[in-house]
Amino acid sequence: MSIELRHLRCFLAVAEESSVTRAAARLGLSQPSVSRALASLEQHVGVRLVDRSTHHLALTEAGRAFRDKAAVAVAAFDDALDTGRLPHRPLRLGHAWSALGPYTTPLLRRWQREHPDIPLELLRVDDRTAGLVRGEVDAAVLRGPVDTPALATELLFTESRVAAVPSDDPRAARASLTLADLAAGPVVLNTVSGLTTLDLWPPEIRPTATITVANTDDWLTAIAAGRGVGASAASTAQMHAHGGVTYLPLSDAPRVPVLLAWRSASPHPAVRQLVALARAVARRR
């Protein structure tokens, strides 16, 4: 049996989605075909890549190591197919939400002025690496720690955190909130592409009830409906205003690192220019 690119794409989709069903939907394939591709890949490499013993699929240690190699291989293949368009093919910049916050528009405008021959495409992709590991984008704006070895990163700036509460909640009238103020009721967590996990809270005040969603839109809707409260980066308040959600400073939460990430192997030819310009834009404001 030979392994084809489709096997790697299926594996990477499962790795990002933690679900065969969601991976199949993203790829436009049937669930059984994705399961067969994953099983064939595991048989070929001779190790189990995905732990299926839990409700949500998780990568094994071997799977995490193989994911980085597979991502590099897929990205290199995709780049090879684009050689006829180099060096002027579009530079795809992914983000899971909020992009670069207040620096987004200045970056896009300056890029257009300074690099008019290379279009910069801003794409929202709802997963933890904003499509970077799967090769859907050439670079990505990521928040929080990045532990994927195949990625190179540049810290652009840090931003404060905010609490998000229903606008008719009594806490919405406060000037600021603390982590303890959010711990009493359910906390809405975006477990697919979000930044916040229960580890944000110290063990002694960790919330006991959570509601999980898959993207920022559903996160906002759940909070506006009064199902729970949330925590996010300050850019969320700037980029995702909602009539039913009030954002307040979260006074005792650590700041959030905002990074530009790209694949260290086979990067887009213009990635270095993007890094330099993003750094310059973030430092000027």
What is the SS3 string spanning 122-145? Answer: EEECCCCCCCCCCCCCCEEEEECC
Claim to verify: residue 265 and residue 144 sit in the same structural domain: yes
Q: Are 68 and 148 in contact (CB under 8 A)?
A: yes
Write the pLDDT tens digit of every residue in 28-72. Answer: 888 898 999 999 999 998 999 998 776 667 888 898 888 878 887
Whether residue 252 is predicted with pLDDT greater than 90 in this model: the reply is yes
Residue 65 has a pLDDT of: 84
Peptide bond into 119 cis (omega under 30): no
Domain count for the chain: 3
Whether residue 84 is predicted with pLDDT greater than 70 in this model: the reply is no
Claim to verify: residue 148 and residue 201 sit in the same structural domain: no
Claim to verify: residue 170 and residue 108 sit in the same structural domain: no
Whether residue 245 is predicted with pLDDT greater than 80 in this model: the reply is yes
Q: Comparing 86 with 35, which gets the higher pLDDT?
A: 35
Claim to verify: residue 148 and residue 168 sit in the same structural domain: no
Q: Could you tell me the two tokens for 151?
A: 């990625």
User: Which of 29, 47, 81 is where one domain is finished?
Assistant: 81
Claim to verify: residue 124 and residue 114 sit in the same structural domain: yes
Distance of alpha carbon 35 from alpha carbon 148, whole angstroms = 24
User: Which of 81, 115, 144 is where one domain is finished?
Assistant: 81
Claim to verify: residue 91 and residue 129 sit in the same structural domain: yes
CATH of the domain at 24: 1.10.10.10
Burial class (CB within 10 angstroms; exposed 0-12, middle 13-18, buried 19+) of 284? exposed
What is the SS3 string spanning 180-200? Answer: HHHCCCCEEEECCCCCCCHHH
CB atoms within 10 A of CB 102: 16
Distance of alpha carbon 74 from alpha carbon 80, whole angstroms = 10
Share of the chain above pLDDT 90, in %: 61
Claim to verify: residue 243 and residue 105 sit in the same structural domain: no
CATH of the domain at 197: 3.40.190.10
Residue 55 has a pLDDT of: 61
Whether residue 237 is predicted with pLDDT greater than 50 in this model: the reply is yes
Residue 56 has a pLDDT of: 67
Claim to verify: residue 166 and residue 201 sit in the same structural domain: yes
CB atoms within 10 A of CB 155: 11
Write the pLDDT tens digit of every residue in 126-144. Answer: 988 999 988 889 999 999 9
Please give the residue range of the domain that contains residue 18: 5-81
SS3 38: helix
Q: Are 164 and 236 in contact (CB under 8 A)?
A: yes
When pLDDT is averaged across residues 145-162 and rounded to a whole number, the result is 91
Distance of alpha carbon 261 from alpha carbon 52, whole angstroms = 30
Residue 127 has a pLDDT of: 87
Whether residue 183 is predicted with pLDDT greater than 70 in this model: the reply is yes
User: Packing angle between helix 20-27 and helix 31-45, nearest 10 degrees?
Assistant: 110
Q: Are 236 and 216 in contact (CB under 8 A)?
A: yes
Q: Comparing 61 with 284, which gets the higher pLDDT?
A: 61
Claim to verify: residue 167 and residue 250 sit in the same structural domain: yes
Residue 188 has a pLDDT of: 98
Whether residue 279 is predicted with pLDDT greater than 70 in this model: the reply is yes
Claim to verify: residue 88 and residue 143 sit in the same structural domain: yes
Residue type, 40: S
User: Which of 49, 81, 113 is where one domain is finished?
Assistant: 81
The helix (H) or strand (E) run that includes residue 73 is: helix 61-81
Claim to verify: residue 238 and residue 261 sit in the same structural domain: no
Whether residue 19 is predicted with pLDDT greater than 90 in this model: the reply is no
Torsion angle in degrees (nearest 10) through CA of 41, 43, 49, 52:
110
Write the pLDDT tens digit of every residue in 93-117. Answer: 999 999 999 999 999 999 999 999 9
Q: Which residues contact 128 (CB under 8 A, 6 or more apart)?
A: 16, 96, 142, 192, 193
How much is the mean pLDDT over the chain? 90
Claim to verify: residue 247 and residue 269 sit in the same structural domain: no
